[in-house]
């Protein structure tokens, strides 16, 4: 089978930054599905893994964490799927990725693809939806069914128009929350408003001033989706006493948790890969979340966040998608399909 990968951590403009090669099609065992990949998307994690490092790898590394495809074979322990099912998933951080013709993936982190969406529309969704869902409904402990209570609460989503923000705003809106999302340009302001934000603030300005100008002294929840270091002091100031903050990004210097002491606010991390990385007992919740997302997409409660698309899956199109995500100004998602 064909795959695209890298052996050295090079700038994307280098001809060898990503290249195509051949390898043997794998055989599924245990809970694994073998999926014929039809569409993929690119996330910031692809850029980080491809770029960061110095060593030359012994064999090419295949990345890619988002796929839509068809199940072609199943392992002997598989119970959730069968041959010919159309599936979507983000995959695992420690296994070979979706930038290949066929991919092995554990059935417990796979969902049935939304029937009413094209492969490209569906491929925009898995990684960002899992991240947004787990951050909102597990780490921030918002109950999506308690709409009456949620109507009285507000959430600040920092980076409303990126991949994760474009789903998080929609899910927070669906849960009944009053959604304040950050966006810094006319294009991103209109995008995030069209994806569930009730009000917008500008993350290039002081967020405390921006939120207070809207009439809110504090917010009940904050979901941080870009630049934890840069926004930490603003979040500590804006969070309501007993409020909840969650972050999906890494800090590059120590964060001062003491700033939350007097408010007794909580801070939680979200890492979408945790469950599969540590093979936790609740790993199957990613199967359930993806099926739920699929249902919400099919009934039109939320919509695909696809914004840029190319075809077919090849080195040139993958490089273009990496270049777009590398700008840190991506709006919604970039997808490549066959
Ligand atoms: N922990 C996890 O499980 C997990 C999962 C997914 C992603 N992530 C991480 O979360 C981050 C966001 O992912 P993503 O896919 O949503 O990224 P993305 O789509 O690349 O985000 C791009 C957006 O970020 C906004 N932005 C740039 N600088 C900002 C700042 N200082 N403050 C607020 N917003 C800013 C840009 O808006 P403007 O152009 O308007 O400034 C742009 O629209 C990345 O660092 C990614 O690695 C973590």
Tokens representing 310 are 């190319």
State the pLDDT at residue 322.
98
State the pLDDT at residue 202.
98
Residue 279 is part of which domain span?
Answer: 2-125+274-337
Residue 214: is it exposed, middle or buried by C-beta count within 10 angstroms (0-12/13-18/19+)? middle
CA 261 to CA 254: how far, in whole Å?
Answer: 16
- In terms of domains, do 166 and 284 share one? no
**Is the distance from the beta carbon of residue 43 to the nearest atom of ligand 1 less than 6 Å?**
yes
Residue 94 Cα to ligand 1 midpoint, Å, equals 22
Give the tens place of pLDDT for each residue, 207-219: 999 999 999 999 9
State the pLDDT at residue 264.
98
- In terms of domains, do 138 and 90 share one? no
State the pLDDT at residue 207.
98
- In terms of domains, do 121 and 215 share one? no
Give the tens place of pLDDT for each residue, 107-154: 999 999 999 999 999 999 999 999 999 999 999 999 999 999 999 999
Based on the structure, what is the number of domains in the chain?
Answer: 2
- In terms of domains, do 97 and 149 share one? no
CA 10 to CA 19: how far, in whole Å?
Answer: 12
- In terms of domains, do 144 and 256 share one? yes
**Is the distance from the beta carbon of residue 328 to the nearest atom of ligand 1 less than 6 Å?**
yes
- In terms of domains, do 178 and 69 share one? no
- In terms of domains, do 209 and 332 share one? no
Spell out, as residue ranges, where the chain has pLDDT lower than 70: none
**Is the distance from the beta carbon of residue 182 to the nearest atom of ligand 1 less than 6 Å?**
yes
CATH number of residue 289's parent domain: 3.90.180.10
Residue 15 Cα to ligand 1 midpoint, Å, equals 27
- In terms of domains, do 264 and 141 share one? yes
CA 92 to CA 116: how far, in whole Å?
Answer: 26
- In terms of domains, do 154 and 254 share one? yes
- In terms of domains, do 117 and 199 share one? no
Residue whose CA lies nearest to ligand 1 atom number 40 = 184
**Is the distance from the beta carbon of residue 138 to the nearest atom of ligand 1 less than 6 Å?**
no
Instruction: Provide the H-helix boundaries in 33-92.
Output: 44-51
Would the pTM of this model clear 0.75, i.e. be above it? yes
Tokens representing 222 are 């904050």
Residue whose CA lies nearest to ligand 1 atom number 18 = 162
* CA-based nearest residue to 22, from 51, 59, 47: 59
**Is the distance from the beta carbon of residue 126 to the nearest atom of ligand 1 less than 6 Å?**
no
């Amino acid at each position: 089978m064909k795959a695209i990968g890298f052996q050295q951590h090079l700038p994307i403009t280098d001809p060898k930054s990503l290249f195509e090669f051949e390898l043997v099609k794998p055989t599924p065992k245990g809970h694994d599905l073998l999926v014929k990949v039809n569409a993929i998307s690119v996330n910031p994690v692809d850029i980080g893994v491809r770029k960061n490092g110095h060593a030359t790898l012994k064999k090419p590394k295949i990345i890619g964490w988002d796929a839509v495809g068809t199940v072609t074979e199943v392992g002997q322990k598989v119970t959730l799927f069968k041959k010919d099912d159309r599936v979507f998933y983000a995959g695992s951080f420690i296994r070979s990725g979706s930038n290949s013709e066929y991919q092995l993936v554990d059935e417990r982190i796979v969902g049935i693809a939304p029937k009413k969406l094209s492969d490209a529309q569906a491929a925009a969704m898995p990684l960002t939806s899992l991240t947004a869902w787990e951050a909102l409904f597990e780490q921030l402990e918002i109950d999506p069914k308690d709409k009456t209570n949620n109507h009285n609460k507000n959430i600040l989503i920092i980076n409303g128009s990126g991949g994760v923000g474009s789903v998080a705003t929609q899910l927070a809106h669906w849960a009944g929350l009053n959604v304040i999302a950050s966006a810094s340009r006319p294009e991103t302001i209109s995008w995030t408003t069209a994806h569930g934000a009730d009000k917008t603030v500008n993350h290039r300005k002081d967020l405390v001033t921006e939120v207070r100008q809207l009439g809110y002294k504090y917010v009940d929840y904050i979901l941080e989706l870009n630049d934890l270091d840069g926004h930490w002091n603003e979040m500590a100031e804006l969070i309501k006493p007993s409020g909840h903050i969650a972050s999906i990004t890494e800090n590059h210097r120590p964060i001062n948790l003491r700033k939350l002491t007097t408010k007794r606010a909580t801070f939680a991390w979200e890492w979408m890969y945790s469950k599969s990385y540590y093979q936790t007992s609740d790993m199957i919740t990613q199967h359930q979340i993806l099926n739920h997302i699929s249902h919400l997409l099919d009934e039109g409660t939320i919509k695909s966040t696809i914004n840029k698309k190319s075809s077919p899956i090849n080195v040139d199109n993958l490089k273009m998608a990496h270049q777009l995500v590398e700008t840190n100004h991506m709006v919604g998602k970039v997808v490549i399909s066959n």
